[in-house]
C-alpha cells in the first residue's frame, strides 16, 4: 500500500509498535528531546517533586545523553549486562533505590539487542518511574510478545543514517498517552526550522567527532575534549524538518520489506557466528528471541581488537568499536554517581567490535573475508 501521506505513515507505525499515537519528527534524537520535556511537564502537573534526573545505559551513542542535557536533566549512567550490553535491571534497581529525583529511565536496544524489558519495566513500575523504550536501532524487533518501541510510556524509532530503515531523515514518538502525544505535537511545532547552516554543521560535527574519538582511543585522558560537544552542536538536535514526499514514501516502502530485511540480517548474523566459532579469545552476546540485529557485535581483548580494526579498515571493510562508555565523556556529572564505577561498561569500552549487517553493504563473500581476517589475528 502506498503511503506518502504523513498521517497514514504514522498510523502504520502505531500498528507496528502496538501504540495508540505516533508523531513523525526530524530525527530520533529530537523525538527523545521532546519526550524528555513532556514527561517533565506532566510530572509537575501530577504534583510530584520536580525530578531532574534520567537514567541512561552507559554503552550508548552521544545523542540520547546530549538531548537529556538540553532538556535540563541530569544524567545518571547505569551499567549494562555483560551478556547483552543493554541496561542491567539489577544495576537499575540499585540506582532507583539510592538516587533521589529520578524522572525517567531510557532502555536502549543497542546494536539491535533486545533488553530484558520485562524486568526493566517491572522495576520502573515499582518505583513509579517513566520508561522510554528507545528502539532506534531495533525497529521490527520484539521482547516476548510486545514490539520493541512498544514498551513503557514512550517508544522511539529512527530512520536516520545506517539505521535498519535508513532514509537519512526522521524519527518517531509512539505512546498510548494522549497527553504525551498532544504535548509533543505542540512542542515540535515550536522548534526552529532546519536551514543551510545546520546542514553545514553536520559535516563539522562528523569531522570533529571522529577526530576526537581517534585521540581518545589513544589516551582516555583526552575524554574532556568531548565535554563541550553538547553545547557546540545543540542545534543539530533541536529543529523541525518536514519529511519530503519522497522520504515518507521511502520509509513506507522499506516498512513493506522490513521482514525481508530482518531475515537477511539474522542470516548474516548467524553466518558471522558460524565462521567465528571456536575462537576462545572472543566472547559473543546473548541474542534474545525477537531481536532485530543492527550490528554483529562481539568482545575481544584490546591488543587483538586494535589489530582487527586496523586490518579490516585497510581492506575497506566497515568495522567500528562502538560504543565506549559515556561516563567519562560526560565527566562533569560524575558527582551524581557517588563513587560508583561501571565495570562492565568500562570493560566493553576496550573490547567491543561491531560489523555491518546491512544487506545493501554485506554478503556471504564479504563476511567470509572479514572472518578470515579476524580468525587469523585472534589465533596469532
pLDDT band at 1 (very low <50, low <70, confident <90, very high): very low
For 242-252, write each residue's pLDDT tens digit: 999 999 999 99
CATH topology of domain 6-195: 3.40.640
Mean pLDDT of 127-139: 97
pLDDT band at 277 (very low <50, low <70, confident <90, very high): confident
Tell me: pLDDT of 352 over 60. Answer: yes
Q: Which pLDDT score, from 0 to 100, does residue 2 have?
A: 43
Q: Which pLDDT score, from 0 to 100, does residue 332 have?
A: 58
Domain 255-378 sits in CATH at: 3.90.1150.10
Q: Which pLDDT score, from 0 to 100, does residue 222 have?
A: 92
Q: Which triple of cell numbers denotes residue 259? A: 521482514
Tell me: pLDDT of 138 over 70. Answer: yes
Q: Which pLDDT score, from 0 to 100, does residue 3 have?
A: 42
For 143-185, write each residue's pLDDT tens digit: 999 999 999 999 999 999 999 999 999 999 999 999 999 999 9
Between residues 277 and 61, the one the model is more confident about: 61
User: Reduced to 3 states, what is the DSSP secondary structure of residue 88?
Assistant: coil
pTM: 0.96
DSSP labels, 163-185? SSS--SSBEEEEES-HHHHHHHH
Q: Which pLDDT score, from 0 to 100, does residue 336 have?
A: 53
Q: Beta 102-108 vs 130-134: how paired, if at all?
A: parallel
Question: What are the extents of the domains in the chain?
Answer: 6-195, 198-236, 255-378
272 contacts 371 by C-beta, under 8 angstroms:
yes
Q: Which pLDDT score, from 0 to 100, does residue 380 have?
A: 84
Q: What is the mean pLDDT of the chain?
A: 93
Distances (CA, A) of 197 to 175, 200, 203, 217: 33, 5, 10, 30
Tell me: pLDDT of 220 over 90. Answer: no
Mean pLDDT of 109-132: 97
Mean pLDDT of 297-318: 94
pLDDT band at 303 (very low <50, low <70, confident <90, very high): confident
Q: How many residues does the chain have?
A: 380
24-28, 96-100, 329-333, 347-351: least confidently modelled range: 329-333
Q: Which pLDDT score, from 0 to 100, does residue 63 have?
A: 97
Distances (CA, A) of 59 to 76, 188, 213, 234, 378: 12, 28, 15, 21, 24
For 261-275, write each residue's pLDDT tens digit: 999 999 999 999 999
What is the rounded CA–CA span in Å between residue 355 and residue 184? Answer: 35
Q: Which pLDDT score, from 0 to 100, does residue 331 have?
A: 62
Tell me: pLDDT of 237 over 50. Answer: yes
Residue 309, sorted as left (phi over 0), alpha (psi -120 to 50) or beta, turns out to be: alpha
Amino acid at each position: 500500500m502506498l503511503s506518502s501521506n504523513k498521517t497514514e505513515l504514522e498510523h502504520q507505525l502505531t500498528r507496528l509498535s502496538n501504540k495508540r499515537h505516533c508523531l513523525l519528527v526530524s530525527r530520533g534524537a529530537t523525538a527523545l528531546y521532546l519526550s524528555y520535556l513532556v514527561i517533565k511537564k506532566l510530572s509537575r502537573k501530577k504534583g510530584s517533586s520536580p525530578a531532574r534526573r534520567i537514567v541512561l545505559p552507559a554503552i550508548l551513542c552521544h545523542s540520547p545523553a546530549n538531548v537529556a542535557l538540553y532538556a535540563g536533566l541530569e544524567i545518571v549512567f547505569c551499567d549494562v549486562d555483560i551478556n547483552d550490553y543493554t541496561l542491567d535491571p539489577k544495576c537499575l534497581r540499585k540506582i532507583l533505590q539510592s538516587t533521589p529525583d529520578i524522572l525517567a529511565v531510557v532502555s536502549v536496544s543497542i546494536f539491535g539487542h533486545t533488553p530484558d524489558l520485562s524486568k526493566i519495566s517491572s522495576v520502573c513500575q515499582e518505583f513509579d518511574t517513566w520508561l522510554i523504550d528507545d528502539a532506534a536501532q531495533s525497529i521490527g524487533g520484539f521482547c516476548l510478545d510486545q514490539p520493541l518501541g512498544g514498551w513503557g510510556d514512550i517508544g522511539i524509532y529512527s530512520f536516520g543514517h545506517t539505521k535498519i530503515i535508513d532514509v537519512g531523515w526522521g524519527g518517531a514518538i509512539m505512546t498510548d498517552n494522549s497527553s504525551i502525544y498532544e504535548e509533543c505535537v505542540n512542542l515540535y511545532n515550536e522548534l526552529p526550522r532546519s536551514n543551510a547552516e545546520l546542514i553545514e554543521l553536520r559535516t563539522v560535527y562528523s569531522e570533529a567527532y571522529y577526530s576526537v574519538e581517534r585521540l581518545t582511543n589513544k589516551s582516555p585522558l583526552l575524554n574532556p575534549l568531548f565535554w563541550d560537544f553538547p553545547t557546540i552542536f545543540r542545534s543539530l538536535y533541536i529543529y523541525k524538518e518536514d519529511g519530503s514526499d519522497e522520504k515518507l514514501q521511502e520509509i513506507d516502502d522499506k516498512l513493506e520489506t522490513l521482514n525481508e530485511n530482518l531475515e537477511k540480517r539474522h542470516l548474516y548474523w548467524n553466518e558471522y557466528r558460524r565462521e567465528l566459532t571456536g575462537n576462545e579469545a572472543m566472547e559473543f552476546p546473548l541474542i534474545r528471541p525477537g531481536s532485530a540485529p543492527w550490528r554483529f557485535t562481539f568482545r575481544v581483548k584490546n591488543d587483538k581488537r586494535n589489530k582487527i580494526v586496523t586490518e579490516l579498515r585497510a581492506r575497506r571493510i566497515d568495522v567500528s568499536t562502538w560504543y565506549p562508555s559515556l561516563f567519562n565523556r560526560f565527566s562533569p556529572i560524575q558527582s551524581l554517581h557517588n563513587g560508583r564505577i561501571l565495570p562492565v561498561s568500562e570493560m566493553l569500552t576496550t573490547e567491543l567490535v561491531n560489523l555491518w549487517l546491512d544487506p545493501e553493504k554485506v554478503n556471504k563473500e564479504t563476511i567470509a573475508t572479514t572472518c578470515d581476517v579476524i580468525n587469523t589475528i585472534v589465533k596469532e
